[in-house]
Amino acid sequence: MTSTLQQSKNAVTLKGSAALVSEFFDYGINSILYQRGIYPPESFTRKQEYGLTLLVSTDDKVTKFLKDILAQIHEWLVERRIKKLVLVLKSVESREVLERWEFQIESEKTKEGEVVEEAVKDEKKIRGEIRDVIRQITASVTFLPLLDCLCSFDILIYTHGDTMVPQEWGESDPCYIANSEEVKLRSFSTAVHKVEAAVSYKAEM
C-alpha cells in the first residue's frame, strides 16, 4: 500500500505537467538569451535548478514580458490548446531572422486515443530529462554561428484554431530562415505533454 501511495504522490498530473513545461520555457528562453548574447551578461543572475547553475534575466521589461507570456502558455497547456512555441532571434538593423528555436508540444495519448489525465511518470525523471535539454541549449554555442550584430527576440505561439487569443497579441508570419540549417535537440516528456526541441540558423554562404 505504501508504494502505491508514494507512486501517486510523485506522479505528475495535467496541471503539474503544465507547470513543469512552463518552468522549462522560462529557464530555456533565459538560457538562450544569455548564451546568444542578446542582453549583456551583467543583466543576468544565477539560479540553481535541475542540478544546474542557470542564468535568468534581471531586466524588468524582459521579466515582465516573459511572466505574462508564460502565464498564458500555462493556461493553454492545461487546456491542451498550444502546439508550438518558437523563439526567434533577429538582427535589430536589418530585421533578418538569424535563429529560430522551435519547441513542438504534443499531448501524450493512451493506446485508446484518450489524453492522459493522471500521469504516472515520476517528477524526478522528468526534471532529469529537462536538465539534458537545457544542457544541450547551453552547449549549442559550440556549433551556432556567432551573432555579431545587435539582436532582438520575439516569441511565436501556435495554438489550435478555435483558441481565444488576448487582444494585445498580434498575428505574425512564421519567421522562417532562408538557407537554414536545422539541428534537432533532445526531447522530454511528462507523460502528459511531450516537448521536442530544434534550432534553425542561417547557413554559411
Read off the pLDDT of residues 49-64 as tens digits, 9 standing for 90 and up.
Answer: 999 999 999 999 999 9
Instruction: Pick the most confident of 79-83, 97-101, 155-159, 189-193.
Output: 97-101
Residue 108 is predicted with a pLDDT of 77
Average pLDDT over residues 97-107: 95
Span 2-202: which CATH code? Answer: 3.30.900.10
Q: Which long-range contacts link 34-41 to residues 24+ away (Cβ below 8 Å)?
A: 35/137, 35/138, 35/140, 35/141, 36/89, 36/99, 36/141, 36/144, 36/147, 36/151, 37/147, 37/151, 38/89, 38/147, 38/151, 38/152, 38/153
Contact 185, 198 (CB under 8 A): yes
User: Where residue 179 falls among pLDDT bands split at 50, 70, 90?
Assistant: confident
> Minimum mean pLDDT among 29-38, 88-97, 119-128: which range?
119-128
